[in-house]
Chains A and B, each alone.
Chain A
């Protein structure tokens, strides 16, 4: 499906403002197949806005996002089949059952094999016995596993994760880790935003530190010895004045 060689996900001069407030400024990015980029950064660095633009949830103020060389138009829908988004919010309807939630999104994505796909995905995240439970009756961890199944239901080429580990219970974290491992084996392109260093570094092939809207530091897996990275991170954030940036101003 993916043409070998060229970047799968590309950003060119991506910027986003809210009136006088700058959330993201001039971010460039080129990710290839099976790249796993983790973006670290303090609160208000514009990580969520950047992810929002990459996933087509938000229109950029300037710049472009390209998937497999094709520039995304915010209004188009075709490319949305190729992108999966998992946020710390589940995007689930509390009064629909686990199965109904997946079937609902499956129909929005135009999937035709829902009778096979939905039970298989529920089993993959260990919810086969909870298929007919309404989501509001599920435990927090179960909901998060269901949210993961929802985000990947349509087998996207590009997976965007916004603080996926936030508030996860150990069982859900294990499932998430397993699924992320799989995504890497399947050569998917993944972008993850987090401020948890150890979870973020675990699978990353590339790392960026975003401070005050732009990438202040970028590196590949080889550059990062986990022990030294924490000191590097704090150094970068402080030298960019990120600590002085008013927290939360630009978070969505």
Chain B
């Protein structure tokens, strides 16, 4: 067990160090988050629509598209010099590899989701203060579900001749429950509604994230097999 954790830790550490040194994905996802916020502000007539009412949906859309941008690259970074084959032929179990890569992607996307939240609070004047902790929890659960599915399907997409362009086709239909519950919950939390109203939704988000992580851990071995 401790060896398993060491292997997960080693791969996660490696992914995060690589990201910190290249800042490739963090930069593009971060810039995307801010720029999407800018574009959204120009695309909404604030005279007729209250930004409070649409903010939740926009936050989640930014998260989904931005996440796709970063998670989709995760296996292309590995392909350089065949390094991922070195990982796959090592004694690290495939589920450990999946959990580690999902974990590293989660750290990235969660950071970006906080940035998205800050951008919307700033540009749209959305007040998130009342339920900030809960909103962050909801974004965290959403990010986790997203990266679990995203990592599994990014591995599939990178193994096809179509590459990254295939990823949205594969994951968007699967992400519908996450978006429904995520937006619905965030919307109510921003509006300052009582927690009891969203408790069930948060549980569903958690269940979705857990199911996605478990399915990915089991199925990943069939994807990376050669």
Residues of A within 8 A of B (CB): 52, 55-59, 74-75, 77-78, 80-81, 83, 85, 87, 89-96, 100, 104-105, 107-110, 134, 150
Give the total number of A-B pairs whose CB atoms are below 8 A apart: 80
Query: Is B173 interfacial (CB 8 A cutoff)?
Result: no
Which chain A residue lies CB-closest to B88?
Answer: A57
- Among all A-B residue pairs, the 10 with the closest Cβ atoms: A91-B86, A89-B82, A107-B10, A108-B90, A77-B91, A80-B91, A95-B21, A58-B226, A108-B92, A110-B3
Chain A contacts for B92, CB-based, 8 A: 77, 108
Contact B90 A56 (CB under 8 A): no
Query: Is B50 interfacial (CB 8 A cutoff)?
Result: no
Least CB distance, A249 to chain B, in whole angstroms: 17
Q: Tell whether A59 pairs with B226 under 8 Å between CB atoms, given A108-B7, A108-B87.
A: yes
Chain A contacts for B10, CB-based, 8 A: 104, 107-108
Contact A80 B81 (CB under 8 A): no
Q: How far is the CA of A104 from the CA of B18 in the complex (A)?
A: 12
Least CB distance, A189 to chain B, in whole angstroms: 17
Q: How far is the CA of A85 from the CA of B84 in the complex (A)?
A: 13
Contact B17 A100 (CB under 8 A): yes
Chain A contacts for B86, CB-based, 8 A: 85, 91-92, 105, 150
Query: Is B73 interfacial (CB 8 A cutoff)?
Result: no
Interface size class, chain B: 20 to 34
Which chain A residue lies CB-closest to B3?
Answer: A110
Which chain B residue lies CB-closest to A58?
Answer: B226
Contact of A80 among B6, B14, B90 (CB under 8 A): B90
Q: How far is the CA of A100 from the CA of B20 in the complex (A)?
A: 15
Query: Is B176 interfacial (CB 8 A cutoff)?
Result: no
Least CB distance, A103 to chain B, in whole angstroms: 8
Can you list 12 A-B contacts with CB-CB less than 8 angstroms, sorted by A residue number?
Answer: A57-B85, A78-B91, A80-B90, A80-B91, A85-B86, A87-B85, A90-B82, A94-B81, A95-B17, A95-B18, A95-B22, A110-B91
Contact B82 A108 (CB under 8 A): no
- Given A89-B82, A108-B10: 20 more A-B contacts, CB < 8 Å: A57-B226, A58-B226, A75-B94, A80-B91, A85-B89, A87-B85, A89-B85, A91-B82, A91-B83, A91-B86, A93-B14, A93-B83, A95-B21, A96-B14, A96-B18, A100-B17, A104-B10, A104-B13, A107-B10, A108-B11
Q: Return the CB mask of B91-132 against A: 1 if under 8 Å, else 0.
A: 111100000000000000000000000000000000000000
Contact of A92 among B17, B21, B83, B225 (CB under 8 A): B83
Chain A contacts for B7, CB-based, 8 A: 107-108, 110
Contact A92 B81 (CB under 8 A): yes
Chain B contacts for A52, CB-based, 8 A: 226
Query: Is B45 interfacial (CB 8 A cutoff)?
Result: no
Query: Is B221 interfacial (CB 8 A cutoff)?
Result: yes
Q: Tell whether A77 pairs with B81 under 8 Å between CB atoms, given A93-B18, A104-B10, A108-B87.
A: no
